[in-house]
Structures are given as C-alpha cells and as structure tokens.
Amino acid sequence: MKTFNIKFFIGAAFISMSAAGCTDLLEEEPRAIYTPGYFQTERGVSGGLTSMYAHLRYIYGNAYYYNATLTGTDEATYGRDADENFLAMDLSGRAALNANNSRADALWGAAFPNINTASGIIKSASAVGTISPALIAEARFFRAFDYFMLVQTFGGVPLDLGSGELEFNTSAIRTSVRNTVPEVYTKAVFPDLLIAVNDLPANPRVVGGATKTLARLYLAKAYLTYAWWLENPNNIPTYPAAPRTDPDGHDARWYYQQAYDVATAGIDSPGPFRLQPTYYDVHVGTNDRNSEMLMFADHTESSELYNGGSITFGSGGSPDNFAGWMMTWNYTNIRSYTNANGTGGVNSVQREAAQALGRPWNRMAPTIGPSKTRLPTKPTIPATMGRLPRCTVATGPRQASLTPPCTTPTTCQ
C-alpha cells in the first residue's frame, strides 16, 4: 500500500509540474460555440442564413406539427395506434387537450430561435459593410414568415424577446409579454415582407432560395388573413384581447385590395416560376424541385451532413422527414391463409430490419367521410374552359377580367 501511495504522489507531482510548463495547452479557442459577434462577419451572416433554410425541416416534416395542423379536420383523424398527442388534437373527446399534449411546441420551439437569428443578421449585417441588401432581405423574409405562422396559430405573440421589440436578444429571460394581433402584423409581418419584395432578387440565390415572387406570395396571404381577422365573420375571440381595428386606420376592404394587387404583380412577373402541366407533375417524387415550388424544406438521401439527420435511421424527431410515417397504414397486419377453412394464417408482408424510408406508425388516418363518399357524377367542364391556356388559371377578380372567354388556345396571351 505504501509503495502504491508513493508512486501515486510521485506521478501526480510530475503531472502537476509538467502541466505548469505547458501554458499553450490552456489557451482555449472555442470552435463549436457561436457568439453574437459572429453575425458581424460575412461567414456569420452566411451561416445564419443557412440555418434559416434548415429550420424549415423542424416544422415541415415534423409529424407533431403535421398532427397539430391536420388531425381533427375533415382530412385526418386519429389512427389505430394514436397516442394522446393525436387523440387530443382530434377534438373528438378521446383525450382532453392541454398544454402537455397539444404539441403546439413544434412550431413555437422552431420559430422563435429563428426569429432571433434573423434579428441578429438584420442588426449586425450593416456593421460588416459588404452584405448586400438582398441577403438581409432573406433574413427579413424568414422573420416575417415565422411571425406570420405564429400569429395564425396563437394570436398575438411577443415581439420583444428580451432586448426590445424586433431586437436581437443575447440574454436568457423567463418572462414575455404578448403583443396584439394588429401589432404583430403591422410591426413585424408587413414591414419585413415589403422590404423583402423590394430587395429580394427575381431569381433565387440558391436552389429553393427566397425570391421576390415568394415574398409576394406570403405578403398577399398575410394581407388576406389580416383582412379576415379584421372582419371576424364568425365572431371568434382573439388573444390577447384587442379591438378589431387597424393601427394605420385601414379597413378589411383596403387589405383585400392590397392582397389582390400584390398577387397580381406576382402573376404578371413570376420570375423563373411556372405551372406544371398536370397535378401529377407537381407531386411526383422525381420532379420535387420543379418550377411550381417557390420554397421547400429540402432533404437528401445522399448526404447526412447536408440532410441534417440520419439517412439510414429514423429517430422520430426533427429534422427527420417523418411526417409521412404517421398516416402509413400497417401493412404487416395483412393476413393470408394457407387453408380454405381459414387456418394456417400468416402475416403476408414483413418489415425488413433496416427501413431508411420510414415505417408505419398508424398515428393518423383518413376520415370516414372522404373514404366513403364520392361525387355522384363527373363534373362537366365547358368546352371553352377546357381550351383555356394554363397561364390564365386564376380566381376572384382576376378570373372575372378574363372576358370574353378564350375559344382557342391562341386567343389569350
């Protein structure tokens, strides 16, 4: 025992003396921590913008966001293996909806960090001096995008994250104050999107990047949504409570007109975007980066680094693209029988051990109505409408302007 102690203390003393002479080893250079000053560099701005596109994967593709927005509608209900998250969102009494099972956190938790990142870029990019207005406009678009998603979901939400309204926050806080719905739209959503429409390019900087057309789309949608909120035809309460009046003195009709004007500008100057020949062409997997796609939460099957998550294993969480699993029916329940009397039953389809493309979760299911009901007859399309060029497809006032109807494909330009 004594021999061990002597050797131990000699060894400890040697380590202590040698460590004192190696001062270079104690000079830390963090490489995995980003401080607020990082945004005041070109590389920091570029990294921040990249993270904004990446944050879309934490919303779109997240099964719990999918559940929060679809379960309980006329399109989806709970499936056989639904847990409380899905039963509660069905709003059919199978489970009581509360803060623990609503899964509204799927949007809330992804949006606010991204909003703060956008505010950091907007605030610091001017200090760099070499950041173009178009790049700053991308940050403005994403800040407006997230606030628009939040205000539609929760009503009024905080504009002050700890350092002032729409300011970049660098300190953790445990309190917040919700702004009203009109404040979120008129202080955050509309101003940022208007600047984005002005400063973004017609052609995307990267594949699937923000453009003028994309900003116009969301600005038109925001105008429409806010106009409907001002009208409140169904007498729905708003939170926090606020008068249904616009701070700038405009009424719903004014905002509807703005939506029309912005949408018309996008139709007349679409940039590189075009309609696909058929509905099938829009959705077929081999054509997923087509000219109708203004933006997408991109995934890949060839690079885990670019994908942001495993391409061989599904974790059941973001950034995996696992929303589609929720309504995948359990094909392993298919039974076949070797004997005519119903004996010798086997599960005809088996899952393989590795399932890179997902697996059946049975959490959601199509509703009964659409499954059992179909149109009694095929809708009849007038011959003149059937020959209209695809470029004239529109709705509302713009459709009314297409008179007289085209009789041949060459009569409309």
In tens digits, the chain (413 residues) has pLDDT values of 444 444 434 344 444 444 444 445 555 555 555 677 788 888 888 899 999 999 999 999 899 999 999 999 988 999 988 999 999 999 999 999 998 888 888 999 999 999 999 999 999 887 788 899 999 999 999 999 999 999 999 999 999 999 999 999 988 888 899 999 999 999 999 999 999 999 999 999 988 899 999 999 999 999 999 999 999 999 999 999 999 999 999 999 999 999 999 999 999 999 999 999 999 999 898 898 899 999 988 888 788 888 888 777 777 788 888 888 888 878 888 888 888 888 888 888 887 766 656 677 789 998 887 767 765 555 554 443 333 333 333 333 333 333 333 333 333 33
Domain with 185 in it: 37-70+104-298
What pLDDT does 258 receive? 98
- Helix (H) / strand (E) element for 366: namely strand 364-366
- Asked if residue 344 lies in contact with residue 337, where contact means CB atoms within 8 angstroms, the answer is yes
Q: Is residue 91 part of a domain?
A: no
Q: Is residue 8 part of a domain?
A: no
Give the 3-state secondary structure of residue 364.
strand
Instruction: State how many domains the chain has.
Output: 2
What pLDDT does 36 receive? 78
Query: Model's pTM, two decimal places?
Result: 0.79
What pLDDT does 20 receive? 47
Query: Which of residues 298, 319, 351 is at a domain's end?
Result: 298
Q: Is residue 138 part of a domain?
A: yes
What pLDDT does 32 receive? 55
Query: Which of residues 280, 298, 316 is at a domain's end?
Result: 298
- Beta pairing partners, 337: 345
Domain identity same for 109 and 223: yes
Burial class (CB in 10 A: 0-12, 13-18, 19+), 394: middle
Q: Is residue 163 part of a domain?
A: yes
Give the 3-state secondary structure of residue 227.
helix
Query: Which of residues 270, 298, 326 is at a domain's end?
Result: 298
Task: Check the CA dihedral 34-36-42-46 and report its sign.
Answer: positive
Domain identity same for 55 and 179: yes
What pLDDT does 41 receive? 86
